[in-house]
Copies of this chain bind each other. A is one copy, B any other.
Amino acid sequence: MASSPPPALGPAPGTAPTSPSRPGVLGSSPPPTTRAIYAALRREIVTLALMPGTKLSENELSLRFGTSRGPVREALIRLGEDGLIEVLPQRGSFVGRLSLPAIERARFVREALEIAVVRRAAELGLSPGQGRRAEASLDAQGEAGIDAEHFIDLDDAFHAGFAEGIGLGGVWAIIEREKTQFDRIRFLSLPAATPIDVLIDQHRAILRAVLDRDPAAGERAVRDHMAEVLKIVSDLPTRHPDLF
């Protein structure tokens, strides 16, 4: 590898430099190679391009990405820390299967944190700029329409906005980490998912509560919104038993 010209980063399907914002308070930027591998694999796992249970060989991956096993190994550690893969010593690394308890736990955590965030946002109020940006996001969400992946990005940004609005952007990083669990089922059940219009209405209700400075209404709106996930989940294990 040191003798031949390195062909840069590999022929991964979706190697967009997605940056799921390190949760840590400290900078600690991983080296670009490890980071790129992490981002690529993470994306593929979340979008179910890599199905749960798939074997991930360090050797194969290092071949595919054109590096040695070292950086691949470090990326796998990070993914393991995120609960996305499972490393069985001397046996192999596997894409983590979906787990109903894990999904319920993620829902619980997200609900608790978003309620706290929205409540505080309603108490403190948003700056005019933040309010305007939230409104703009709502419009953009309506226009996104069919493009589900784009809508998801806007969705995330909308929610993250409240955490940043109260000066606790780091909280969104934690939510994002947990959210991964139902991002996977979201991609699994995109057709059957809740109509986007309904989601946007719920977003609108949350924003209105915050702008009205009404914490209780905000909490109710968030609870409604989070309940949507439950509807999607219920019959999933019977429809896709191999993924659980």
Contact = CB atoms under 8 A, between A and B. Distances in A.
Interface stretch (A75-83, A144-152, A205-213, A229-237): A75-83
B112 A80 contact: no
Interface in A77-100: 77-78, 80-83, 85-89, 96, 99
B24 A80 contact: yes
A167 B81 CA distance: 22
A3 interface: no
B168 A80 contact: no
Given A77-B77, A111-B116, A112-B112, A105 B28 contact: no
A88 B31 CA distance: 9
A171 interface: yes
Interface string A51-91: 00000000000000000000001100110111101111100
A105 to B, nearest CB: 5
Contacts of A154: none
Nearest to A81: B81
Tier of interface size on chain A: 35 or more
Nearest to A105: B170
Total copies of this chain within the assembly = 2
A241 to B, nearest CB: 18
Interface string A13-49: 0000000000111111111000000000000000000
A128 interface: no
Interface string A166-197: 01101100100010010000000000000000
A157 interface: no
A5 interface: no
Interface string A105-118: 10011011101110
Given A24-B82, A174-B174, 8 more contacts: A23-B81, A24-B80, A25-B83, A25-B99, A28-B86, A105-B171, A108-B116, A108-B171
19 contacts: A24-B82, A26-B80, A26-B85, A28-B85, A28-B87, A29-B89, A31-B89, A74-B74, A78-B81, A101-B167, A101-B170, A102-B170, A105-B168, A105-B171, A108-B168, A109-B113, A109-B171, A111-B116, A112-B113
